[in-house]
Amino acid sequence: MLTTREPAVLVLEDGRTLTGRAYGRRGATVGEAVFSTGMTGYQETLTDPSYHRQVVVMTAPHVGNTGWNDEDDESGRIWVAGYVVRDPALRPSSWRSNRSLEDELDAQGVVGICDLDTRALTRHLRERGAMRVGIFSGEEAALPASELLARVTAAPEMSGASLAAEVATTEAYVVPAVGERRFTVAAVDLGIKSNTPRMMAERGIEVHVLPATATLEEVRSVAPDGVFFSNGPGDPATAQVQAELLQGVLRAGIPYFGICFGNQIFGKALGFGTYKLKYGHRGINQPVMDRTTGKVEVTAHNHGFAVDAPLEGSTSTEHGEVTVSHVCLNDDVVEGLEVRRDERLVAFSVQYHPEAAAGPHDAAYLFDRFTELMESTRTPGPTQGEVA
């Protein structure tokens, strides 16, 4: 484990500067500063492709106590641009740990900073909003403050960023069903997490994971019972190709389920706008109401954009009647959409992460809702399309 703690500095684009100590790889990094409120699951957070080009500030004060293992990664690498913690663990303490968190950060080239007031930093981001930030350690930390700030403000903003293709697979692959194959799903990878196809496979779904650039012909070539769009990074306003693909899926009458970025693209395909949240939702403790059941779920989130759809009433579209099915109880942000034709459910999405590898698991039922939708869609009779 790295133990030397050279000085490090964190510089926000509005000029605010905090000093701390080097953590992980020494050097420099820039990205969008966001904060995550999860107290556990830091390995899943770091390997979530949705965090591409973001510097994650952990609000939990003590990070790294369970080390790093080889089972909990949500993708093949760490995606965060930088990492900010207050008190790093001196040593990991878990029977599952293979090495320390800091050693893994260093091995994967992730520049971080520790020993600073993350509570003050989080309050600043809540008041001013997510913004660009730089972390500088080693020789980089000794550069003039004006030069460091100039490097931060020269970094690209998240608004207008098209990033899904940068994190998605370039080649299609298949995750086989566990046990008997009941359904086939075409999953468009926009930054998919490994637990998502795993949870579908456990329900008898053979998952064909396709690149973010997949066409309607490629989707239909796997003869899917349903289509799934994953989570992913970037501005949904740039996802016009994926929105047009989804419109083709809906016109073809194929059941659809989307999460996170897949919810935003669903909204875009239905004619709604999207907008950037002030500081986003990130963590594993966000309360959401499923308005179709009246139940409140504690859910895992990672999104900085949202769908601009009316919370009340329905909207008529060529694909059916659209309603907001889920809403965040903290701020009334749209957290889910559904489309019905003749009162029958044909497509739905949520803004959060029902696969939630680090928990909570309140929303796992959504995968069952998807299987029920696919089952009812291919079953003739008056109850076609209904979901319990």
Predicted pLDDT at 358: 80
Q: Given this model, what pLDDT does residue 3 score? A: 58
Task: Give catalytic status of residue 355 as yes or no.
Answer: yes
| Residue in the block written with tokens 């309050």 | 123
Catalytic residue, candidates 124, 208, 319, 353: 353
Q: Residue 378: exposed, middle, or buried by beta-carbon count in 10 A (0-12, 13-18, 19+)?
A: exposed
Task: Give the pLDDT band of residue 379 (cuts 50, 70, 90).
Answer: low
DSSP category for residue 157? P
Report the chain's terminal Cα–Cα distance, integer Å: 51
The predicted pLDDT at position 387 comes to 39
Q: What are the pLDDT digits (tens) for 142-187?
A: 999 999 999 999 999 999 999 999 999 999 999 999 999 999 999 9
Angle between helices 240-251 and 261-269 (to 10 degrees): 70
Pairing of strands 87-88, 62-63: parallel
Q: How far is CA 27 from CA 74, 79, 90, 101, 111, in A?
A: 26, 17, 22, 18, 6
Q: Are 242 and 212 in contact (CB under 8 A)?
A: yes
Residues ≥6 apart with Cβ < 8 Å to 289: 295, 296, 297, 326, 327, 329
Checking if the pLDDT of 382 tops 50, the result is no
In terms of Cβ atoms closer than 10 Å to its own Cβ (0-12, 13-18, 19+), residue 182 is middle
| Residue 114 designated active-site | no
Segment 96-145, tens digit of pLDDT: 999 999 999 999 999 999 999 999 999 999 999 999 999 999 999 999 99
One-letter identity of residue 333 = V
Query: Residue 289 above 90 pLDDT?
Result: yes
Q: Are 199 and 240 in contact (CB under 8 A)?
A: no
| pLDDT for position 165 | 95
What integer best gives the mean pLDDT of the chain? Answer: 94
Residue 378 has pLDDT above 90, yes or no: no
Higher-pLDDT residue of 4, 198: 198
Q: Is the per-residue pLDDT at 380 higher than 80?
A: no
Query: What is the value of pTM for the model shown?
Result: 0.94
Instruction: Choose the catalytic residue: 52, 260, 281, 326.
Output: 260
328 among known catalytic residues: no
Cα(228)–Cα(335) distance, rounded to whole angstroms? 17
